Amino acid sequence: MARHSISAVIAFLCFSIVGFARNQQDQLYSVRVSVSTAEQRTEIANAGIAIDKVFSDSIGFIGTKEDIKRVEGLGFSIKASELPRRALDFPSDDKNFHNYSETVASLDEIAKNHPKIAQRFSIGKSLEGREITGIRLSGNPSRDSLPTAIFMGCHHAREHLSVEVPLKLAEYLANNYETDSRVKSLLDTREVVIVPMINPDGAEYDISSGSYKYWRKNRRKNDDGTYGVDLNRNYGKGFGGAGASSSPSSDTYHGPEAFSEPETQAVRDWVRGRKKATVLLSFHTFSELILWPFGHTYDQVPSKTDQDVFETMGKKMATWNKYTPQKSSELYLASGDTTDWAYDELKIFAFTFELTPDSMFGGGFYPGAEAIEPTFKANIEPALYLIEKAENPYSVLNESVDPLRLIP
Ligand code: 0X9
Ligand code: ZN
C-alpha cells in the first residue's frame, strides 16, 4: 500500500493513564499515527489495531511493539510512548466503579426496592461461567409486547465507564418512576431492558491485579495460546471483513466464526427474543461519539428512510450530550459489531455511544470515578429520547408529531 510521508507527529502524553502489559510481560505503548482519511484509518484497522481515538490528522491506539511494527510496516510513521505502570486499584482508587459482583448486587438492589417495575434476569453465561445479567423495567410487566428499548454496556473489558452509565440509567428510571410523570408514562407504555456488563470475564480480568491491564476482549483461550476474542467483531453482519483481525493475538480478533462466543450468542438470542425491540444503544468508551450503521462498509444502509432515521436520531441526541454524530464507517471500517447485526437482521435502530472522555488526555479508558456522574447526566436525555422513540422510531422524520402523543 501507499507509503505515507508523515510531517507532524504529535508526542503523545499519557499522564493520566496506567497500565500493565496485556499478557503480563508485554510492555504497552500509547501510539499516535499521522493519518487523515477513513481509508488510511481502515488500513490500520485492517492490521488488527483497535483504534481508540480519531483526530483530523492522526489516530491513537494502545498496543505492543509488535503492533507498532505492523503499522510501521504499512509505511506509516508513528510516535509511541511507554505506558507507565501505576497502581490504580479498582475498587480502591476507583472504588465507585462497579466490578462484576457489585454490578449484580446493584441490579438486585434495584429489583428488590422496585419489585413492581423491575426484575433482574440473565441472558446466559460468559465463557468463564458468570451470569450475564440485566434488568427489565416496565410499569406494565405483564404485557410482553411493549415497544422495547435495549441498553448494553461493556462489550470491551477496559471500558468500565460503559458499565456505570447503563447501571445508573436503571437506577434513575426505577427511582423516578413514582415521582416523574415523564418516566412513569414511558415505563407504563414501554419496556426498557438494560444489560450493563456483556463481558464480565474481561472486565474482571482487567482489574484483577490491582493495576489496569488495558484488556479489551473476552477471555477465550485461543488455539495458539493467546487469549481473547473481540466481542464487537464477533457478530454476524459482515463478519470477518474490514477492520477485524484473523490473528488471535490481535485486539480486534474476530474469533473463529460469527457468534463463536457465549457472550455474543447470549446477546443474539436474547435480542432476537425481544419481539418489539426497536432501538438499541451499546455503550463503549471513549471519544464522545454517536455512531450508527453501517460500520463494516462505506455503503449506506439500503433504506434511505432508515438512513434518515439514524441521522435524525443521532444528530438529535448529539444536541444533548454534545458528542459527534456520524455513521460508523466515517471513523474507520470495523466488521461484526453489535449495531450492524442488530439493524441488519432485526431492523433495530442500533447506536454505539463512545462515552467520555474526548481523548486520551482526559484519561482514555480510565478517566477516574469523577467522570461517572457528569457522563451519566450528559446521557440522560439521549437515553430518554431513545426510550420515547421506541414506540415508533420513524416518527422522528415528522418532527410535528409529539412522540408522547403516540403513547396509547
Ligand atoms: O471499534 C469498536 O469496536 C468501537 N470502538 S472502541 O474504541 N470502543 O473499540 C467502535 C465500533 C463502531 N463500529 C464500527 N466502526 N463498525
Ligand atoms: Zn469499545
The pLDDT tens digits for 364-402 are: 999 999 999 999 999 999 999 999 999 999 999 986 555
Nearest ligand 1 atom to alpha carbon 284: 8
Please count the CA atoms within 13 angstroms of the CA of 227 that sit on its side-chain side: 15
Question: Does 406 reside within a domain?
Answer: no
d(CA 162, CA 366): 11
Whether residues 126 and 72 fall in one domain: no
Take atom 2 of ligand 1 and give the residue whose Cα is closest: 232
Whether residues 51 and 175 fall in one domain: no
Whether residues 31 and 158 fall in one domain: no
In this prediction, residues 6-13 reach a mean pLDDT of: 30
Of 50, 82, 114, the residue that ends a domain is 82
The pLDDT tens digits for 84-139 are: 654 334 546 788 999 999 999 999 999 999 999 999 999 999 999 999 999 999 99
What Cα–Cα distance (Å) separates residue 86 from each residue in 15, 96, 149, 286? 10, 19, 39, 21
Largest CA distance in the chain: 63
Is 345 noted as a catalytic residue in this protein? no
Model confidence pTM above 0.95: no
The pLDDT tens digits for 280-314 are: 999 999 999 999 999 999 999 999 999 999 999 99
Contact by Cβ (8 Å): 126, 263 = yes
Question: CATH number of the domain that 18 lies in?
Answer: 3.30.70
What lies within 8 Å, CB to CB, of 265 at 6+ separation is: 124, 259
Whether residues 343 and 256 fall in one domain: yes
Our mutation pick for probing the ligand 1 site, out of 41, 55, 198, 232, counting the most ligand atoms within 8 A of Cβ, is 232
- The number of folded domains in the chain is 2
What lies within 8 Å, CB to CB, of 275 at 6+ separation is: 145
Q: Which ligand has the minimum distance to the alpha carbon of residue 337?
A: 1
Q: Which ligand has the minimum distance to the alpha carbon of residue 335?
A: 1
What's the confidence (pLDDT) of residue 16? 28
Q: Predicted confidence band at 76 (pLDDT cuts at 50, 70, 90)?
A: very high
Greater confidence (12 vs 33) lies with 33
What Cα–Cα distance (Å) separates residue 83 from each residue in 31, 71, 155, 173? 10, 18, 23, 39
What's the confidence (pLDDT) of residue 404? 53
Is there a cis peptide before residue 200, judged by omega within 30 degrees of 0?
A: no
Whether residues 135 and 190 fall in one domain: yes
Whether residues 135 and 56 fall in one domain: no
Q: Which residues line ligand 1 (CB under 6 A)?
A: 50, 52, 156, 159, 232, 284, 291, 295-296, 328, 331, 334, 337, 352, 354
What's the confidence (pLDDT) of residue 160? 97
In this prediction, residues 181-190 reach a mean pLDDT of: 97
d(CA 162, CA 153): 5
Q: How far is CA 267 from the centre of its chain?
A: 13
The pLDDT tens digits for 38-72 are: 999 999 999 999 999 999 999 999 999 999 999 99
Share of the chain above pLDDT 90, in %: 83
Catalytic choice (43, 171, 354, 388): 354
What's the confidence (pLDDT) of residue 84? 62
Question: Does 241 reside within a domain?
Answer: yes
Of 25, 51, 82, the residue that ends a domain is 82
* Residue 81 cell numbers, joined: 510512548
d(CA 316, CA 312): 6
Question: Does 51 reside within a domain?
Answer: yes
What residue numbers bound the domain in which 75 lies?
A: 6-82
**Per DSSP, which regions of 16-57 are E strands?**
29-33, 51-54
